[in-house]
Amino acid sequence: MAIRSIITAPDHRLREVSKPVETVDDGTRALMDDMLETMYDAPGIGLAAIQIGEPLQIIVMDLAGKDDEPEPRYFINPVILDVVEETAVYEEGCLSVPEYFEEVERPAKCSVEYLDYDGKKQILEADGLLATCIQHEMDHLEGTLFIDYLSRLKRERILKKLKKEQRLAAAE
């Protein structure tokens, strides 16, 4: 396993549309192991493969509390089957938009079909933070970031600040 570097906005690679995984094999699992290690190290609760520069439909997640046993989740080629009309608002953040947190409204529940770590088909009914997190991560597979749900003014302000921070970091 290895910790990979996380791409941050406004890097154009985050806008790429990820491709489905054709076969879930040891290479796929090695990538998921790296993603999980990278996510724990950050630390974060979810990571899509594109965030480490791999345009594949893979997501890893762990919503367990700090003092609880780890509960890693792996989603390969996820598809939303259904969402409810009811919405929920969470303050979202993203490892690719570091240090910024904003409220986003999304469907409160969703059911998602995906392949697990072993390549087996699964269906999950999600609500609460899990539902939000799945939708946030699945957005990454389409090149969408949570800041896209904010007003243009807010989004541009965040991107401008991120760019400036990156310039300063590069100059150090």
Nearer to Ni ion, 8 or 122 (CB): 8
> Smallest distance, Å, CB 42 to Ni ion?
11
> Smallest distance, Å, CB 122 to Ni ion?
22
What amino acid is encoded at 88 in this protein?
A
Strands 58-61 vs 46-48: parallel, antiparallel or unpaired: antiparallel
> Smallest distance, Å, CB 95 to Ni ion?
6
| Residue bearing tokens 């806008």 | 15
List 37, 71, 103, 137, catalytic entry: 137
Nearest residue to Ni ion, scored by beta-carbon proximity: 94
The answer to whether 138 touches 80, Cβ cutoff 8 Å, is yes
What amino acid is encoded at 12 in this protein?
H
In the residue annotation, 137 being an active-site residue is answered as yes
The distance of Cα 59 from the centroid of its chain, to the nearest Å, equals: 6
The answer to whether 21 touches 77, Cβ cutoff 8 Å, is yes
Nearer to Ni ion, 31 or 133 (CB): 133
Whole-angstrom Cα distance, residue 109 to residue 127? 4
Q: Is 94 in the site for Ni ion (CB under 5 A)?
A: yes
Nearer to Ni ion, 119 or 149 (CB): 149
Q: Is 60 in the site for Ni ion (CB under 5 A)?
A: no
Catalog residues that contact Ni ion under the rule CB under 5 A: 94
